[in-house]
Structure 1
């Protein structure tokens, strides 16, 4: 099994991510932070977090596919959310599950003051290992 999920003793078992992912493979894929952009690079869904989240994870899926990687080969993601609040978590999780299904890469979720330009509310980057 190229990805091994480890549940360390003494740590909780999160529903949405894994504390430790051990990877074996032949290629590493590093995906830059994906924003809520259309193919022309224009912001879509300004001010609508739920719509931006869906667009961001769809863009992440496209980027992974372009590299020949599948969502279940992602080992870690970092999620940046402008003005993060706990009530955003279900919205983020719904889009995340749409891309990853039951796969739970390691993750970090950071609340930030701003992203690359005004109007962007979420950004997600990823690391994958292809076997």
Structure 2
């Protein structure tokens, strides 16, 4: 598997993600939007973005592992946050770094009015590219 990150000189160089990810591999892994649910489906962290972000990103990590993928094989993230403000960015980044370390896939961060779960403040999707056929 090969992921090549590219921040072209014609675009700003972001601190927390990469502008372009070029992926070569044999297997794609699509992770559904993950929210702050524990393994039994119980919602955690009602009203607390930091708790929810940690759980949602941890769930992405768990889903990747179940597919035989690693966080450093993720090419793209989509992050949805209810009522997104600039003050939320450090909280989201801390939760992302806890799973992805210094790997910075391409990402989209969207502020939304609501998510599909009544108490959810954040939902995270991922796409990984693997060079192997099976986990």
SS in 2 for 1:78: strand
Deviating above 2 A after TM superposition, structure 1's stretches of 4 or more consecutive aligned residues are none
Is 1:123 the counterpart of 2:104? The answer is no
Q: State the aligned residue count.
A: 131
Alignment correspondent of 1:101: 101
Q: How does 1:45-60 map to 2 (within 5 A)?
A: 45-60=45-60
Alignment correspondent of 2:8: 8
SS in 1 for 2:44: coil
SS in 1 for 2:125: strand
TM-aligned CA deviation for residue 117 of structure 1: 2.1
Q: Which runs of 5+ in 2 are unaligned?
A: none
Q: Deviations over 1:10-31 (max 9, x none)?
A: 1111010000000111100000
SS in 2 for 1:9: coil
Alignment correspondent of 1:86: 86
**Partner Cα separation in structure 2 for residue 50 and residue 75 of structure 1:** 24
**Partner Cα separation in structure 2 for residue 117 and residue 129 of structure 1:** 28
**Partner Cα separation in structure 1 for residue 117 and residue 73 of structure 2:** 30
TM-aligned CA deviation for residue 8 of structure 1: 1.0
Q: TM-score, normalised by structure 1?
A: 0.97
**Partner Cα separation in structure 2 for residue 117 and residue 63 of structure 1:** 19
Alignment correspondent of 1:77: 77
